[in-house]
Amino acid sequence: MNKKQIAITLGVMCFILTVSIFVQIKTIKNTNSTISQSLKENELRDEVLRWKEKYDVAYEQLTQSGKDLEEIRKQATQNDKTSLAKQNEIIQNNMLLGTYEVQGPGIEITLTDNNTGISKDGMEVIDLSKLIVHYDDLLEVINSLNNAGAEAISINGQRIIQTTAITCEGNVIKVNGQRVSSPFTIKAIGSSGLLYGSVSMIGGYLYWMEYEGVLVDIKQSENVVIEKYNGVINYKYINNEN
């Protein structure tokens, strides 16, 4: 074998060795990157679980405190008619404030995004945004129910109270700061006939939503259960000077 062949052979071997080393280094980097990513994901998951556990404990304590307070009130008013009247007044006020779970006659409305792209009359919809439930649609429905005398309202389990905000952040709708999504179940307690008529009438807001393609379902019920408000009600400016 002459010198030229030896040189070519050594050159090929050096090239192969260089490529092998490069591939090995890249593989090690990718492995380290994957391990680092997995560690970050595990840390985030652990952090979420820790906060979820704290929330569950705090919520359980709050619920138990409410039960204890209710029991103390009952014991304090057992033999006192005046105190009993005050107790009933407190209960009524808490029901209106939304801090108690309530039930009674009313309606349940379900609004669902239409993913077919087809309107109610079978026509293809060009503006697909019309097939999606927006936050202002929820506001319109809530206003209609309030105008019809609804005494309690909720959206996907979120109780609507005086300070409730229904907002849109990008594509995310929030009620009381909590994310809600389609299908939207709106419950309302009141005169079921009056409530039903106010939202189902021809030419009304829900009529046009359904006509444009949103899936709308309205049911009357004699036993609508609406959850209590789970947040904290803070008043910054009003006070009782008496």
Residue 189 sits in a domain whose CATH number is 3.30.70.1880
In a domain, 200, yes or no: yes
User: Measured between alpha carbons, how far apart are the two ends of the chain, in Å?
Assistant: 112
Residues 74 and 182: their CA atoms lie apart, in Å, by 41
pLDDT tens series, the chain, 242 aa: 555 555 566 565 666 666 666 666 666 656 555 555 666 666 777 776 777 777 777 777 777 777 777 777 676 666 566 666 666 666 666 665 677 889 999 999 999 999 888 877 777 777 788 889 999 999 999 999 999 999 999 999 999 988 888 998 888 999 998 999 999 999 999 999 999 999 999 999 999 999 888 999 999 999 999 998 887 766 666 666 55
pLDDT at site 158: 94
Phi, psi at residue 107, to the nearest 5°? Answer: -135, 160
pTM of the model: 0.63
**17, 69: one domain:** yes
pLDDT at site 218: 96
**222, 110: one domain:** yes
Residues 88 and 19: their CA atoms lie apart, in Å, by 83
**72, 106: one domain:** no
**34, 133: one domain:** no
Question: Two tokens at 125?
Answer: 């919809």
pLDDT at site 128: 83
**66, 110: one domain:** no
Residues 19 and 92: their CA atoms lie apart, in Å, by 79
CB count in 10 Å sphere of residue 224: 22
**107, 57: one domain:** no
**72, 109: one domain:** no
Domain residue limits at 59? 1-76
Q: Cβ neighbours of residue 155 under 8 Å, at least 6 residues apart?
A: 138, 142, 166, 175, 180, 184, 185, 186
**108, 179: one domain:** yes
In a domain, 83, yes or no: no
